[in-house]
Amino acid sequence: MFSGFNPVMRAERLISLLMALQRSGSHTAGELATRLDVSMRTIFRDIDALSAMGVPVYTEPGRGGGIRLVEGYSSDLTGLSSGEAEALALIASPASIGASDLATPTRTALDKLAAAVPSMHQLRAQHARGRLLFDTKAWFRSSVASPFLDQLRAAVWRDECIRISYQRGDGTLDDYDVEPYALVVKVDTWYLIGQRTKAGHSKPELRVFRLSRIQSLTQSGRTFVRAKDFDLHRFWGAWCERFEKNPPRDYPVDVLISSRGCKQLLQNYGGWFRSQLEPLGEKFTNKPVTLDFEREDQALRVLFTLGDEVEIIKPRALRRKLGALAARVVAATR
């Protein structure tokens, strides 16, 4: 492979070359080179590549000769639908994983999968990759992997019981014995799904833990038997639906908000604040309301985007932090 080689561009060129041969029969190497804006040497390399993929292409010397396909041949490019090609293109993109620390394992897994896919289907998938990108990374946020991610992967894979110290939304710490069922990454945030028993309690409960809140982890060496009726996709879908309808509200903030700020919050975070903001009506100058957030950093991030459309009454600590953040932004723009 030479420097600057682009497999997506080559895939597109090979498809164009194959389509030209299928539509119009024989072409000289010079005609194809002009048509595809490459050198004749590149055309002959591409012909060799098509031949290696099993395409019956050959050259005829002399007057009236040229490069052509065996009569009656039709490529199998349509054997992979456009939707299937797009799906392969999406999973082949590290951005679709939502976590950089899985990019290398995913790439090697896809390389092994590609070896089992017919060459012409690989070609169409590469073609789609040049036209479709699925980027799940949130704006202005860098994903920092949990220091316990590798241990959790191993525990989930081996069905091994663990004990964790977990920081709740209000800042308190609890110890849990957990049977780890699965790991989920949503956009750029990791979650652990596990059957847990709080220390001192015997009743198990299937719940979701955010990895960034795990303060310590101990592997027990003991294994557990997973519930046979556990379905990861069904559980996660139901949990997300419940979460959006009844989000945690551990950090209340009293504010004065304008109608414009109210509208902006409803547009961007409708499910979270609808029950608190819709009763205010549509047109007003400033109205007091209590906004319930999950934690302080979330409140700071959301309220900062509103600028002077909102005034924090309490907690005073959040008001001071928002003022300091605004001052730093102003200073940085001078």
Tens digits of residue pLDDT in 68-89: 888 777 655 545 455 555 555 5
Range in 43-52, 60-69, 162-171, 212-221 the model is least confident about: 60-69
pLDDT at 95 over 50: no
Amino acid at 209: F
| Residue range 85-95: mean pLDDT, rounded | 52
- Using alpha carbons only, how large is the chain's radius of gyration in Å? 29
Number of H helices and E strands in the chain, helices first, is 11, 10
Assess contact for 129 and 93: CB atoms under 8 A.
yes
| Residue range 244-271: mean pLDDT, rounded | 83
Burial of 190 (0-12, 13-18, 19+ CB in 10 A): buried
Assess contact for 191 and 209: CB atoms under 8 A.
yes
What are the pLDDT digits (tens) for 273-312? 888 888 888 888 889 999 988 778 888 888 998 888 999 9
Q: Which residues contact 116 (CB under 8 A, 6 or more apart)?
A: none
| Residue range 213-240: mean pLDDT, rounded | 91
Q: What are phi and psi of 75, to 5 degrees?
A: -70, 160
Q: Rounded CA gap, 334 and 224, in Å? A: 59
What pLDDT sits at residue 162?
96
Q: Rounded CA gap, 234 and 182, in Å? A: 13
Helix (H, G, I), strand (E, B) or coil at 210: strand
| Residue range 244-266: mean pLDDT, rounded | 85
What are the pLDDT digits (tens) for 121-156? 566 666 555 565 656 565 555 555 678 988 998 899
Q: Rounded CA gap, 147 and 201, in Å? A: 28
pLDDT at 38 over 70: yes
H-assigned helices in 175-315: 232-245, 259-277, 296-304
292-324 per-residue burial string, b: 16 or more CB within 10 A, e: under 16: bbbbbeebbebbeebeebbbbeeeeebbebbee
* CA 66 to each of CA 21, 41, 57, 251, 277: distance values in angstroms, whole numbers, following the listed order: 11, 15, 11, 75, 73
- Is the domain defined by 7-75 classed in CATH 1.10.10.10? yes
| Residue range 89-109: mean pLDDT, rounded | 52
Nearest to 7 by CA among 49, 39, 67: 49
Query: For the chain, which residues make up each domain, given as ranges?
Result: 7-75, 78-129, 149-245, 251-333
What pLDDT sits at residue 215?
94
| Element (DSSP H or E) covering residue 196 | strand 189-198
Q: Rounded CA gap, 125 and 89, in Å? A: 6
Assess contact for 56 and 100: CB atoms under 8 A.
no
Q: Rounded CA gap, 90 and 206, in Å? A: 31
Calculate the average pLDDT of the chain: 77
Q: For the chain, what percent of residues have pLDDT higher than 90?
A: 22
